[in-house]
Amino acid sequence: MSFKQEIRKNFPKWPIYDDSEIKALTNVIKSGNWWCGSPGVHQGENVWKFQEEFAKFQGANYCIATCNGTVAIESALMALNIGLGDEVIVSDYTFVASASAVIATNAVPIFCDIDPETLVMDVDKVESLITKRTKAIIPVHLGGNPVEMDRLMEIANENNLKVIEDCAHAHGSKYKGKKLGNWGDAGAFSFQASKVLTGGEGGAVICNSEDLADQIYSYTDCGRKKNEYFYNHYSYGTNYRMTEYQAAVIREQMKKFPKQHELRNQNAKYLSDKLNQIEGIKAMKPTQGTEELGWYIFPFVYEPSKFGGISKKEFYEKLNQNGIPTDDCYPPLHTLECFRKIKLRKGIDYSNANWGGEKSSDNHFPIVSDIYRRSIEFPHEILLSSRDKLDYIVNVIKSFQK
């Protein structure tokens, strides 16, 4: 057993599966229909049924399945005609895919600092980043915590900007009566192995415009049009189709999700309340108006001076030594070498970006830089634990102050 496995042995393992996933995969293999086919001529049925079920699950009119969450964002951007030289505002505190998908369209990501309590895009900072080249915004719902989408949409509408929600962490998240992914023009989801809803890999885009859904589908399926001849390719596209295997597993995982989602939300509130009672600890604050939260990760921020000046690395080591599993935090995008040293697409002008070289200094992104140095994350599966295990986590952290 590896050190990482040893740390996690007293907490739920992820993914959680049973014979239903094994049976679903076996049925796909035995069927001989190992891919979805086309809208007019189905081969397998799982991808098409998944699209219907996930659209309903997220309260959207349309869902287009993809092979992963990164290309889900890219596909939405391409369908919304984002391309060469366009600027797209992206949260600075996220996985690289939120910005690399922009790079893939030959557009330029512009990084936005975060709110120190909610840890998501600070909407107050968005307007200052808008230029004549800005064409879209990608709000990232970190940990499933909603960006203030009502305010952000006001800004977007006033400036004629498209909005693609990065919902990779936000399965089931609900803000002011509406599931995330439905506030903007489109919402992009991931079903990678660690996600709260998983098929090992996979992605999806949801939207409420039939025309946009058709354009996204066309891009993800080689420029085809629904129900047209298979070897007619009407526009530039690529192959980002989801496999029958992924869809079969995700459909079974969706049946388990509601009970897990409810427990995560209950236990996250319990753990947050307990941790917030410790001097020098602040758990991620749900954005005001949040009704349900995906809780893909459980982040909190600590004040080193209240813990004898220990470093973030030491904090992580102490948790692991006490058998408590942790996740690494995403380094802010502006610090990544690919952006800092501009190792990106050939022939694209990135000189107007707010990152690269000296512009990537932490001084230009003060909130996220400070938060990253002091933040700790737990994986979402700890929220499926019993309350006594959550109490154990709290007591261990308290002991660090003695």
Known catalytic residues are 95, 166, 169, 192, 195, 224, 231, 241
Torsion sign over Cα 381, 386, 387, 389: negative
- ∠ CA 47-48-51, nearest 5°, is 85
Residue 327: DSSP 8-state: B
**Total residue length of the chain:** 402
From residue 278, alpha-carbon distances to 88, 130, 268, 270, 326 in Å are: 39, 40, 16, 13, 19
Q: With beta carbons less than 8 A apart as the criterion, state whether 343 and 337 touch.
A: yes
Please list the alpha-helical segments (H only) found in 234-386: 244-275, 312-321, 337-340, 366-374
Q: Tell me if the bond preceding 286 is cis, omega within 30° of 0.
A: no
Query: Which residues are paired to 299 by β-bridges?
Result: 377
Q: With beta carbons less than 8 A apart as the criterion, state whether 272 and 352 touch.
A: no
Rounded to a whole number, what is the distance in angstroms from the first to the last CA of the chain?
A: 32
Write out the two tokens for 334.
Answer: 């502006």
**Site of tokens 């107007």:** 352
Q: Do β-strands 203-207 and 290-292 pair in parallel, antiparallel, or remain unpaired? A: unpaired
Q: Tell which residue, 221, 239, 214, has the closest CA to residue 80.
A: 214
Write out the two tokens for 36.
Answer: 């979805």
Q: Do β-strands 297-302 and 134-138 pair in parallel, antiparallel, or remain unpaired? A: unpaired
Residue 140: φ, ψ to 5°: -110, 120
Q: With beta carbons less than 8 A apart as the criterion, state whether 282 and 306 touch.
A: no
398/320 Cα distance (integer angstroms): 15
Q: Tell which residue, 289, 285, 284, has the closest CA to residue 151.
A: 289
**Site of tokens 């293999």:** 29
Torsion sign over Cα 293, 165, 197, 49: positive
